[in-house]
Structure formats: structure tokens, C-alpha cells
Structure 1
Amino acid sequence: MRVRAESPGPSWADVGLAEPGHGWSGAVLAALLRRRGAAVLSHDTAAHLHGMPTPHAAAPSSLVHVTLPPGQRLRREGVAPHRRDLPAHHVGAVHGLRATTPERTWADLCTRGAPWTPEDLIAAGDHLLARPWSRRGRREPASTPEGLAAVVAALGGVPGIDAARRALAQVRVGSDSPLETRVRLDLIAAGLGEPILQFRLDAADPQCPEVDLYYADGAVALEYDGAHHLAREQQARDARRDRWLLARGVAPLRVTAEDHREACRRLVEVILGRRAAGHRIDPRPESTSQSGHDAPPAES
């Protein structure tokens, strides 16, 4: 496949994406699609285009994944073909390339198996339901719980669909990063129950901070410290948030990747200790719109 040297098109960095494991440029992917008019970028390749997080403990896929109608072939080094009929509404365009929609991409990953673990699939689903931050506030999510549920239902009894149903039951609105998702799953596995996500204790107070995870029973607010928390401006905001919470009897806890590697053992001890001491501050009804209990609807 050839592309014009003088017009290779935008780089992955230009569209805000990391370099994919397969190493192909967008221009070469477009050339592949032109040669196979029915081919659609799918699975891990579509996930990269949609900005979905990759498996936590595995390198990004080194193959370009495409879906073709049954009976069509595509033999090319570095390409992994999948043969399945795609409804027209499961196909869209992203960065000028024909690809499966975010919802269909997620469902396909669920049926793919290794290296996608249940935790990876839940984190990818959470990512599609998140409202990313921007300079103008939060943007609209890539999908909705109903959208994910509809695609899973449409796939019926395809092999691996049970993994999609199990992951869908644990996908939640309000997780801003894959590690926030994994921390939530660690805390649930430890028996603490589901936290409220993206929580504001007093929505009527403009100074009230929004915290990543909150347990009313124990009055504990957990905030995941990613790389951006190293910036001076963010540290100042973190300090103001902690002071606001402490003044109202809420314990702020910083969460790091090291906590996840330890299955959040120390955090669990702190939360259980505060529960035993009787600390509790229940949310006001108007403060729970981003609750971690906004689960996808059950399938009929």
C-alpha cells in the first residue's frame, strides 16, 4: 500500500492519540480500507481510534483488526480479519476512518477474550460513559448505559457474549480514569460496597469540591492522584479541596497506583476504622446525580 510522501496526513499525536501498537499511520489504514470497500476497522484498532484504554497488563495490539462480511478474505501481514455481518448503525467514522461505533467496539472486545480481562472491559466501558473534562467544563460522554446495553442485546448468542453481560452489569457512570475504575473494583471486592462517583457533598455551595469516590458510611472521600496532580496549580486545588472536606468532618484520602497494586489494603483499613468509629455523612438527594449506582439497565 502506498501513500503520497508529500501528504501523509495528520499524525496520531495531532488527533490526541498515542502511537498504536501496530505502528500504522492513519493514511495507511485509509489505504487499506480503500482496497477492501467492505472492511471496517474494529476491535483493538477501533478502540485506539475511540481513545479507549488498553489492557492494563498487556502491550497494545500489534495487529490491525478489521471486520469483513462472511465469505470475504483479507490476507495481509499484520492484519487480523474478523468475519461477521455488521448492521449499518454499528459502523461510523472516526478521524476520517471507517470503524465500528464505540458501543460495538466495546462489545467486540468483550467477546475477544485475552488479553482483555474483566477489569479491562469494565474500565473501557466506564471510559465510554465518562464526561471528560475540558476548559469549558465536562463534555458529553461517548456513549450511554442504554447504548451499551442495546448493542449487547443485539449480538444475541455470539460466542463470548456472557463476558459482555457480566462486564455491563459492573460498568458505571462517573469514573474518570481506568485506575479509578480499578480502585472502585478493589474496594467492592474488599466488601465495602459501591462508592458514589464524582460526588459533591453540598451542591448548593459553589466552593464544594467534586471528589472521585465517596463513602457516606465512614464519611471518606477518595481522590485518585494521577500525574496531573504533580502540577503546582493542581496541588493548590487539592489542598483547598482537602481543607473544605476536613472542615465538614469528611476524611480526604489520596489514592495512588501503589494502592491498587496492594488491592487498596490500607485504604480499606482506614474506611473500616471510620465506620467502626461511627463516622457518617449522608449525601443530599441533589448531590447524587453522578452516583456510582447509576448502573446500566437490565436486559429484557
Structure 2
Amino acid sequence: MTLFPTDRYGLIRREAALRVGITDDTVAAAVRRGDLIRLAPGIWVEADDSSAADPDGVYRLRCIAVAGSVRDRGKSTLSHDSAAALHGLQILHPERETVHFTKRTKGGGFVRGHRHVHVGPLLSDDVTVVDGIEVTSLARTAVDVATAGDFERALVVFDRALTMGADRELMSGMLATRARWPGIAAARRALDNADRLSESVGESWSRAQMIAAGLPAPRLQHTFRTSDGEVRADFDWEGRLIGEFDGIQKYGLRPGETPREALIREKRREDALRAQGLMVVRWTWGMLERAELVDHLRPWLEKLDRTAA
């Protein structure tokens, strides 16, 4: 078994492998066997590395690999989806192949290979260092992602950024300097509606679809007292209709618990809420992908109005 040389991030670089006598053919064979994952030209990671256990982890390593290989380090800073990956800032539908940089010039942006280079000013407060890599700050990253996407993507990233401690006023000020940028109106609307109480990408995406459809705004993360103990709901309307996004995925399995046991626990939890006279409606990620949430929720909200009349 070949022992590949790795750097502080667990990356295997071609020049380091060659120095210890490992040939390109040996590396290529390891890639074919699935022992190595290619991140960028001349850079790999071992497939059983814990940092590469999921697509998000692989993309984070790809960003680090490409950032360490650029020739104009000091002039280009990881930004957009790539900075989000290093911050651990979750975003909706991340693009995991291209590595994004922002370059401090007035022109010269390009997309080539793994790199998407944006251009524009970066203030000193817009830049920070994460794990030894220069990246845009949390607030600047959220604004960049928001203005490059639609309302749903913007609301998700602002929710997550607020949860991580980003300053709303700072992000608002950044948006104010981009008055003519594409996507600015949607980003401003998203920041106005952003809420740090949202606990996941799915919950934020759910709320974005509700807002876009003009549905009544729900209360977030309210705790109800039931016979099964305290239950915190993702969403509720008037304390009578509860909305839950994909509860099994949200809460996960407890130690030693099987999926069937988790389903039974969730069913007991819902039964306890219903025993309080509360209506409970649940939806999944797939329903959000298929844009089915609004039609799924509307009859319940109409029923809520009828029972209040």
C-alpha cells in the first residue's frame, strides 16, 4: 500500500509525491481504484480521509487546494460559495465544482477550469483568515452569495449568517453600496425578512417559498407544553397550526436508535401536539424541490381562518 505524503490539510500534491519517488502512474492507478479523489490538477485527497466524507467536505478541500495553487496569492481572495464552504456557512444549492475568488482589480474577471474570478474592491474589513486561508468575511460572503442568486438563495444565506453572528446592519450597508447590481432588490428583500431563529437550510427555504407566495408569516421555534414534555415547533400560526420541516432529518437518530424507533418517537411527538387541539402539517425537502409547499400549506391556513371565524 502506497503511503502518500500529505500537507496540513491532508492534501496530496504532485510535487511532494514526486519528491518521495511516487510516480504519476502510481497516483493515476490509485485514482482509478477509488483510493484517491482528484480535487484539482496535481492535487488529491485520500478517499478515506474524514474531511472528504461528504460532497461538502470534498468541496471545502477543493477550495483549499486551488487557493494554495493560485499564482497571484495576496491579490485574490476566496469568496462567494467557496468562502461560505470555509466559514461553514450553509447555502442553498451550492455549486461544488468551481472555486470562487474576488480579485482587487477593476477588470479581468474570468471563468477557467476550476476557477471563477470575480473583480471588485475588497476593504480590509471584508477579508479574514480561516484555517490559514484568506477568505471574505462572513458578512461579505453572505452578501456576495445573496446578490449572485435569487430571493430564496438570498434568504437562506442571510438566515444562516445571522445565526452564525453576522451583523445585519453591516450587511445592509454593504447592499447599499451595490444599488445597481443585478439581484440587489431580491437580496434587500431577503435581508429584511431574514431571521436568525431559522435552524436549517430547509426551514429557511420553506419560509422563502411562503413569503414569495404571500402566505401569512409563521412564528418560529415556539415551545409548546404537551403530555410528552416540551415540544419546539419549526413554525406555527396563531398557536393553533404547527408546521414541521422533515422532522426525522432535523432531529436525526439518537444513540442506539433505529430509523423505525425515530419514526415512532416523531409520531408520538405529533400525537402529543394534536392532543392539545393543535393542527400539524409536515413537509419534506422533496416537496420544496418540486415547489409543492405552498399548495400543501394553503388548505391548512384556509382551515385555520375558517375555524377562527
Match of 2:224, SS state, is coil
Letter in 2 for 1:52: L
- Structure 1 or 2, whichever has the larger Rg, is 2
Counterpart CA distance in 1 for 2:250 and 2:116 is 36
With over 3 angstroms needed to count, the CA separation of the structure-2 counterparts of 1:92 and 1:207, relative to structure 1, is: same
- Indicate the residue corresponding to 2:179 in structure 1: 157
User: Are positions 1:221 and 2:242 aligned together?
Assistant: yes
Q: Which residue of 2 aligns with 1:47?
A: 84
Higher fraction of strand: 2
Q: Distance in 2 between matches of 1:259 and 1:123?
A: 17
Q: Using the alignment, how far apart are the partners of 1:263 and 1:235 within structure 2?
A: 22
Q: Tell me, what secondary structure is at the counterpart of 2:175?
A: helix
Q: Is the 8 Å Cα contact of residues 208 and 244 (structure 1) preserved in structure 2?
A: no
Instruction: Give the letter for the 1:235 counterpart.
Output: L
Partners of 1:176 and 1:190 in 2: CA distance: 21
Which digits, 9 at most, give the CA deviation of each residue in 1:121-145, with x for residues without a partner?
1111112223xxxxxxxxxx24243
Partner residue, 2:130: 94
C-alpha distance after superposition, 1:206-246 (max 9, x if no partner) = 932111001017x1111111535574464354234323322
Mapping for residues 1-300 of structure 1, pairs under 5 Å: 5-7=5-7, 9-10=9-10, 13-14=50-51, 18-19=56-57, 24=62, 26-32=64-70, 35-56=72-93, 60-70=95-105, 77-112=113-148, 116-130=149-163, 141-153=164-176, 155-157=177-179, 159-160=181-182, 161-201=184-224, 207-216=229-238, 219-225=240-246, 227=249, 231=253, 232=258, 234-260=262-288, 261=290, 262-278=292-308
For structure 2, the 5+ residue unaligned runs are: 11-44
**CA distance in structure 1 between the aligned counterparts of 2:128 and 2:223, rounded to whole angstroms:** 36
- Contact (CA 8 Å) 1:53, 1:178: kept in 2 or not? yes
The answer (yes or no) to whether the contact 1:55–1:117 under 8 Å persists in 2 is no
Which of the pair has the greater relative contact order for Cα pairs under 8 Å at 6+ separation? Answer: 1
TM, length-normalised to structure 1:
0.71
Note the C-alpha offset of 1:106: 1.5
Aligned length: 257
Within 2, Cα distance between the matches of 1:211 and 1:265? Answer: 21
Confirm or deny: 8 A CA contact 1:103 1:148 kept in the other structure. Answer: yes
Deviation string for 1:232-263 (max 9, x for gaps)?
A: 46435423432332232212222223443213
TM-score in terms of structure 2 length: 0.69
The alpha carbon displacement at 1:177 in A equals 2.0
Of all paired residues, the percent bearing the same amino acid is 26
Cα 1:22–1:183 change in 2 (3 A) is: closer
Whole-Å separation in 2 of the counterparts to 1:15 and 1:143: 27
**Alpha-carbon contact 1:22-1:78 (below 8 Å) kept:** no
CA–CA distance in structure 2, aligned partners of residues 85 and 16 of structure 1: 35
Matched position secondary structure for 2:242? strand
Output the CA distance in 2 between the equivalents of 1:53 and 1:212: 18
